[in-house]
Amino acid sequence: MLPINGLHHVTSLASDPQVNSDFFTKALGLRRVKKTVNFDAPDVYHLYYGDAAGTPGSVMTYFPFPHIAKGRHGTGEVGETVFAIPRGSLGFWKDRLVGEEATSFGETRLRFAGPDGDQFALVETDDAREGWTGTVDADHAVRGFRGASLRLRDGGATGELLRFMGYEQEATEGNLTRWRVPNGNGADVIDIETLPGTESARQGGGSVHHIAFSTPDRASQDEVRRALLDTGWQVTPPIDRDYFWAIYFRTPGGVLFEVATAEPGFDRDESFAHLGEGLKLPTQHEPLRARLEQHLQPIED
Ligand code: ZN
């Protein structure tokens, strides 16, 4: 079995960075753990939100493009990103967010939209993880991800890929198949929603750009990479993202997967007490600092 233990982060596209930061830190109560730029396009922020430390399995990240066109939801993308909340806290969240309840696999979840039409849900879990208590108290705070759904025309090949990655098929209900990684980090669940007649998604504001799975370190990432290459997947070499190392590959259903290391973490260039406060640039973009500080829209906390 491959050393993958659940999700690491989910990365999406947004429009306004201030609206994005306010939604995730104030409404959803996550901690902004990093304010940096897209390493491949440094004119754009890369904002990270999660628990206190930005633990793998809790980290929602965004590339905000102020003038981006809205995406169109469809197949070939991550559908709903689902956060875990404590037992008994759903009522609190129903009062706090505009959403609607839905049930699958015997679980009730609160579905709600992010500022750009991003699709999210909250579900109560028995979860030992601690949430960040910024604007939400410990009895109600988001613990991290519970998982995500993939919306696909044909879920077969992606299901087999998940099995290869160590996930086990747990249940099916209608057009949904639930996969779960044993001994995971809490962000353990992937639901495949099969929609044969549905149009492909068009990426834009509110779309998930990619979904990242967690592996402990560079040695285990290398093991995953070799196993994928041996099976015929086209996988990138490891890329240094400063806070983790990343490999990427495109899945049969069209979703971009990443496998990211849990090391070195978000406190490598900022103290734990001040995570997410300063504009952090990777070494290669440090010469652009003056221009970027002028170009990037300031974000107020
Ligand atoms: Zn990523």
pLDDT confidence of residue 9? 98
Please say whether the beta carbons of 45 and 242 come within 8 A. Answer: no
Q: What is the pLDDT of residues 137-182, one digit of tens each?
A: 999 999 999 999 999 999 999 999 999 999 999 999 999 999 999 9
Question: What is each CA distance from 158 to 110, 255, 283, in whole angstroms?
Answer: 26, 9, 36
Q: What is the pLDDT of residues 2-18, one digit of tens each?
A: 999 999 999 999 999 99
Q: What is the mean pLDDT of residues 70-75?
A: 97
CA 95 – ligand 1 centroid, Å: 32
Residues 6 or more apart in contact with residue 202 via CB below 8 angstroms: 71, 72, 74
> What average pLDDT is seen over the chain?
97
pLDDT confidence of residue 197? 94
Query: Do the strands 189-194 and 176-180 form a parallel or antiparallel pair, or are they unpaired?
Result: antiparallel
Please say whether the beta carbons of 241 and 249 come within 8 A. Answer: no
Q: What is the mean pLDDT of residues 51-73?
A: 97
Q: What is the pLDDT of residues 89-123, one digit of tens each?
A: 999 999 999 999 999 999 999 999 999 999 999 99
pLDDT confidence of residue 244? 98
CA 211 – ligand 1 centroid, Å: 7
Residue 48 parent element (H or E) = strand 41-50
Please say whether the beta carbons of 236 and 247 come within 8 A. Answer: yes
CA 210 – ligand 1 centroid, Å: 6
- And the tokens for 26? 């104030």
CA 10 – ligand 1 centroid, Å: 7
pLDDT confidence of residue 284? 96
CA 212 – ligand 1 centroid, Å: 6
- And the tokens for 287? 């010469």
Q: What is the mean pLDDT of residues 283-300?
A: 96
Q: What is the pLDDT of residues 228-275, one digit of tens each?
A: 999 999 999 999 999 999 999 999 999 999 999 999 999 999 999 999
Please say whether the beta carbons of 47 and 32 come within 8 A. Answer: yes
Q: What is the mean pLDDT of residues 52-56?
A: 98
- Measure the CA–CA gap between 180 and 13, rounded to whole angstroms: 26
Going along the chain from its start, the domains and CATH numbers come out as: 7-295 (3.10.180.10)
Position 1 pLDDT exceeds 90: no
